[in-house]
Structure 1
Amino acid sequence: MTHQANVKHLVSKLNFKIGDKARRLSNPDGPAGRFRKLQKTVTALIKYERIELKYNRADEARGYVERLISEARRFGPTHKDTMEIADYWILEKQLVHKLFKVLVPRYEDYTQSVTKLYKAPRDYPGDYRARAVLELRGNIYPSLNMQNPNTYSMIHNVLLSEARKEYRLEKYKQVAENLAQ
């Protein structure tokens, strides 16, 4: 029998997989510049709730946003360490209020990841760097996932259906007139 402490309750569990390899996010300012760039990304995501950027940086920033929201959900604004984490990652200090008053209540009952990462098309054929869209779930923007473009209730399908009906009625009238003659 092993006598190890159960430390699962000390660190919040993230709801997505983090890879084993370090990402290649080179910066001329070194590691400090890399973290500054990640801080700007985390701040922008909390501010706008959907951003488009390079895939590597989006994937890296996703983990920090998940951790930040997870800790804010778990401990709240009165916890000293959580406020220090929020103060470090969020550069615009008025967004700390948004974190605790808007985002934490939104994600209170979430059992899945609070962020979504989509691969975006490249800007032009010669661009080798992958692009991504990183967003917070439950934002006000329309979904990037189109479920099924062939559903009847979509406007283009309704219009095509009505045009098809009108065309058939015209054809039926013409056939009826030809038979009557």
Structure 2
Amino acid sequence: MLRFKVRLRHRKMGSVEGLGSGVEGRIKRLRKLVTGLIRYERIETAHSHGDEARGYAERLIQVAIKNGDKHRETMEMADFWLMEKDLIHKLFKVLVPRYQNYSTSYTQMWNLPIKYPGFGHQSGVLELKGNPWPPVRPEQRETKYLLSNILLQEARREYNQNKIKLDTASLDYTNKSSGDPFSDRMDMSRITETTDSSSPHVADTLEDKRVTQMGDEDSGGGDRVNSMEKDVDKVSKQMDELNVKDKPT
């Protein structure tokens, strides 16, 4: 079973070996690609052709690992696909030991940029894993510990810390200057809820303070009612005096 996703249908490669080459031309082209892959371990070709040949190369290596060079059908399969017969020795003595403990695919496919101006055909690179060539995709240079990046990182950290301090200070100033008893009451209730249950005397003290504050607010409301009643009494007395003066003697 192949270890990568394959197409359900074969690609049309009837004229790759010349006009009218048909099925024989397609098979001949695939044999050349598999032979070149085993020989050089990296080939560049049309993406569709390389992707088609990849499955046959994977299956050839897989059967060689499973059955070894003593299996007659496996040797016939290797003799058919490898047009250069010295590569049979490389298959069983070099590639089989390399890939016998692999749990993934043995090959890798890369897309190349489309050349412009040109015909717009997609090219690709097919390679065996573990080949001696330099990597197709160059390794990214580590830039984390460059002096400029270290300075930027420290400046960013210092900026964030200062921003948090300023936000905290502005929030405290807003709470103090607002003087909203409702917000103070909510703060006291929030503190009471977050108090540890192991220290009940702290919670009792905070609760008493909150009750006292609410009582002060209620007493302030009563004072306002008393002042309004006094004003009403004063106005009624003035009206009575006017009525007395207007009466005939």
Q: Verify same fold: TM over 0.5.
A: yes
| Mapped contact 1:24–1:56 kept (Cα < 8 A) | no
Q: Distance in 1 between matches of 2:2 and 2:110?
A: 18
Unaligned stretches of 5+ residues in structure 1? 1-12, 162-181
Cα contact 2:82–2:88 (8 A) shared by 1: yes
Instruction: Tell whether the 8 Å contact from 1:25 to 1:56 is kept in structure 2 after alignment.
Output: no
Structure 2 distance, partners of 1:98, 1:62, is 18
Q: Say yes or no: does 1:18 pair with 2:10.
A: no
CA distance in 2 between partners of 1:72 and 1:95 (Å): 13
Cα offset, 1:75, TM superposition: 0.3
Provide the rounded CA distance (Å) in 2 between the counterparts of 1:92 and 1:51.
16
1:41–1:61 Cα contact (<8 Å) kept: yes
| Higher CA-based Rg | 2
TM-score, length-normalised on structure 2?
0.55
Work out which structure has the larger RCO, using CA pairs closer than 8 Å and 6 or more positions apart in sequence. Answer: 1
Checking the alignment, whether the CA contact within 8 Å between 2:35 and 2:83 is kept in structure 1 is yes
What is the CA-CA distance between 1:123 and the residue it aligns to?
Answer: 3.1
- Give the aligned partner of residue 105 of structure 2: 113
Structure 2 gap segments, 5+ residues each: 148-249
Show the 5 A alignment for 1:59-138: 59-138=51-130
Q: Which ranges of 4 or more aligned residues in structure 1 deviate by more than 3 Å?
A: none
Deviations 1:32-51 (A, max 9, x none): 01101110100000000000
Instruction: Look up the SS of the partner of 1:78 in the other structure.
Output: coil
Q: Is the 8 A contact 1:118 1:133 kept in 2?
A: yes
Larger % of helix: which? Answer: 2
Shift of 1:142: 1.2
* Contact 2:10/2:52, CA 8 A, preserved across alignment: no
Stretch deviating more after TM superposition (26-35 or 57-66): 26-35
**What's 1:53 paired with?**
45
The answer to whether the 8 Å contact 2:39/2:87 transfers is yes
Residue 120 of structure 1 contacts residue 130 of structure 1 at CA under 8 Å; is this kept in 2?
Answer: yes
SS across alignment from 2:44: strand
Q: Percent identity?
A: 45
